[in-house]
Amino acid sequence: MKASRLRLDGTMITTLFHKLRGKRRKHPIKRDETGKSARRRAFEAFDQGLRPARIAQLVPISPRTAYRYFADWKRLPKNLETRYRVAKAMLKNDTGFSQGVIAVLAEALGMSAEEVVERLQKPWGLKQLIMGRWPNRAKEMRQSEEEARLDAALTLIFFVEHSEMPPQEIVDWLLLLKEKFQKEKGGK
């Protein structure tokens, strides 16, 4: 290494210290009298159809920040905050309804009811569900079944192409296998 790289000046020490300490905010989050951050107020205004230039005037933020928030907002599902508040209120107020929702989610996502409850209790669990960021194990299982069928079909095609049996004999053999499988499946 060069001598200049080995020298530790004040800036390098400060940089090393900050990297070791972890990423921190440069400025505290400024909230209004209702406790909403500027980002949240901007997102709610975007939900109402306002444009970034207008929001920069209404919410005390720079136009550059307003456009950055707009780009972040476009990546989210429409009316996320409203959907979140409604879902949270419904789950909180009616235990019978929430148990039904948990059962439906567990079946649809291929999870246990306990795992669904555990995920919903996490700080961002409900928002992640609304944004579609929960794993869908049922879908993964369906995909693996489809992959197995595709693999079987490709194996069959390979067998037909490389066997010396006449095609009609292969079809008869496959129909016999199918009939035998259906009898076994129906007998159980």
The answer, yes or no, to whether residue 80 has pLDDT greater than 80, is no
Who contacts 115 (Cβ-Cβ below 8 Å, separation ≥6)?
106
What's residue 10's pLDDT?
59
Q: How confident is the model at residue 3 (pLDDT cuts 50, 70, 90)?
A: very low
The answer, yes or no, to whether residue 2 has pLDDT greater than 50, is no
pLDDT tens, residue by residue, 58-73? 988 999 999 999 998 8
Q: How confident is the model at residue 102 (pLDDT cuts 50, 70, 90)?
A: confident
By the 10 Å C-beta count (0-12 exposed, 13-18 middle, 19+ buried), 83 is classed as: middle
What is the arithmetic mean of pLDDT over 95-119?
85
Q: How confident is the model at residue 15 (pLDDT cuts 50, 70, 90)?
A: low
What's residue 187's pLDDT?
59
What backbone torsions phi and psi does residue 28 show, to the nearest 5 degrees? -70, 155
What percent of the chain stands above pLDDT 70?
80
161 token code pair: 């192409």
Q: Which of 93, 96, 102 is nearest to 125 (CA)?
A: 102
* Cα 40 from Cα 185, distance rounded (Å): 56
Helix axes 137-162 and 167-187, enclosed angle (nearest 10)? 140
What's residue 68's pLDDT?
94
Q: Which of 51, 113, 43, 114 is nearest to 78 (CA)?
A: 43
What's residue 142's pLDDT?
66
Q: How confident is the model at residue 12 (pLDDT cuts 50, 70, 90)?
A: low
Confirm whether pTM is higher than 0.85. no
DSSP state of 28: P
Stronger pLDDT, 102 or 22, i.e. the higher one? 102
C-alpha neighbours within 13 Å on the C-beta side of residue 39 = 8
Helix axes 113-121 and 95-109, enclosed angle (nearest 10)? 110
What is the arithmetic mean of pLDDT over 93-112?
83
- The answer to whether the CB of 48 falls within 8 A of the CB of 73 is no
* Cα 50 from Cα 66, distance rounded (Å): 11
